[in-house]
Structure 1
């Protein structure tokens, strides 16, 4: 009887030791994540939801371009042209329904009642009216001093007339993370004939013309994205790659100007 009790005591002690070791390991992992979050370079990803059919959008488009030039290293400028302004008579050539849906997902997160333009989203974490200059500089100052949870590096970038291919490496935890690849048109001038901006010539910059995402399962890999037909051979094109979590918080960003074949 005493022998059985002694054996049971040893078994119980072993189980406790295993449980303690597992919990300690989890604590180590959690600590590692905290350390990761404190060492990677700050990023400021500015996503502007805009439209050529919106009369209050050109000033926001211009402001985004200005801050991108002023903060070349820190700022990643993106313009998503939504399609819900097209009904008033001008079909924005850069607009896509999926960009309006992307904006809707952000506004569900922010508990905002509806989409609006120009809306500026910062690192997927907060939003404001994109033409507010003082607010723009305030968020850039705040976020360019905050360390990021991940770091992404791009290598082996190749470009042909139809596709862009590259390899990537992500540092930091990739648990429940998504990689988002974008092709961004540097600048395009459009004469608008109808709608709220009729008879105006608009200069649009940082225009997202293609986007592709998938769940990160490995910290290293390769990816390819197609160049859409609306991109002319003479257009300057940039590759921007983001890492985000499932709550749309952006945790890393990298960019590269593309040299395209003639």
Structure 2
């Protein structure tokens, strides 16, 4: 579903037009479009490298979006793959349709709009949308397109992220690697499973299920291409509603996600 100015157009031609555009794209076309954004899936010797980091899939979804439940279900299936880190980011802009999303965060809406402004393949402000490693996106229920982008992302090397906990419950996060760019290192607090009974709106009367919903996120510091470590005190891992925590390394201004790791809590 696209975000439109006129509510009367929400379920109409613009949505169908976008879905039709996506349906016309083959997996190869999606992958080629993502390459055109400047990704270089090879090391300095020209050999293709595999990243040891999980590929991050961010699902932008909403309880007020009737086309979102299939994408929410796909997110749940994808999350069972340990080579993927699926993150659900409910947005706020469909709240005006008669049901306020109980999991939505304005930060999620701002992030999606920042991704859209970069104009990469599959970009835009719509739900459901899956964005892969902060780059190319696809309709969140179109598994073939999503997996095509995931295959591409797995070929792009990233930094090594090590996590270690001491007896006092503090975690040390170490990011190793070399690069010529700066990246932000963030800690995300996630709820591994949420179930919501929707009372009104397009999904009124339905019980919806969500995976790895963002509850909180905070910046740990910056990585500038040299080894750096960050300490996370136990109190920062006690966010209400969260039972899972992840470290994300992402270039500034909604840039590419170059590394990620779950904490083994």
- Shorter-chain TM-score: what band? 0.7 to 0.9
| Aligned ranges 1:2-41 → 2 under 5 Å | 34=44, 38=49, 40-41=51-52
Q: 1:148 aligns with which of 151, 154, 157?
A: 157
Report the counterpart of residue 243 of structure 1 in structure 2: 249
SS at match of 2:126: coil
CA distance change for structure 1 residues 88 and 169 in 2, over 3 Å: closer, same or farther?
Answer: same
Q: Give the superposition deviation at 1:55.
A: 0.7
Report the counterpart of residue 65 of structure 2 in structure 1: 54
TM-score, L = length of structure 1:
0.73
Contact 1:59 1:131 in 2 (8 A): yes
Q: Give the superposition deviation at 1:210.
A: 0.8
Deviations 1:68-113 (A, max 9, x none): 21x22x1000000111111112111211111100111100112678
Report the counterpart of residue 186 of structure 1 in structure 2: 192
CA distance change for structure 1 residues 83 and 157 in 2, over 3 Å: closer, same or farther?
Answer: farther
SS at match of 1:60: helix
Report the counterpart of residue 260 of structure 2 in structure 1: 253
Give me the whole-angstrom Cα distance separating, in 2, the residues matched to 1:48 and 1:158. 35
Query: Where does the alignment leave 5 or more consecutive residues of structure 1 unmatched?
Result: 1-32
Give me the whole-angstrom Cα distance separating, in 2, the residues matched to 1:53 and 1:157. 43
Q: 1:44 aligns with which of 55, 75, 87?
A: 55
Report the counterpart of residue 79 of structure 1 in structure 2: 88
Measured on the aligned residues, the alpha-carbon RMSD in Å equals 2.6
| Alignment: residue pair count | 213
Give me the whole-angstrom Cα distance separating, in 1, the residues matched to 2:153 and 2:223. 24
Give me the whole-angstrom Cα distance separating, in 2, the residues matched to 1:241 and 1:46. 14
Considering fraction of residues, name the structure with more strand. 1
| Aligned ranges 1:161-180 → 2 under 5 Å | 166-173=171-178, 175-180=181-186
Q: Give the superposition deviation at 1:239.
A: 1.0
TM-score, L = length of structure 2:
0.72
Considering fraction of residues, name the structure with more helix. 1
Report the counterpart of residue 15 of structure 2 in structure 1: none
Give me the whole-angstrom Cα distance separating, in 1, the residues matched to 2:197 and 2:162. 38
Considering only CA atoms, is the larger Rg found in Structure 1 or Structure 2?
A: 1
Report the counterpart of residue 109 of structure 2 in structure 1: 100
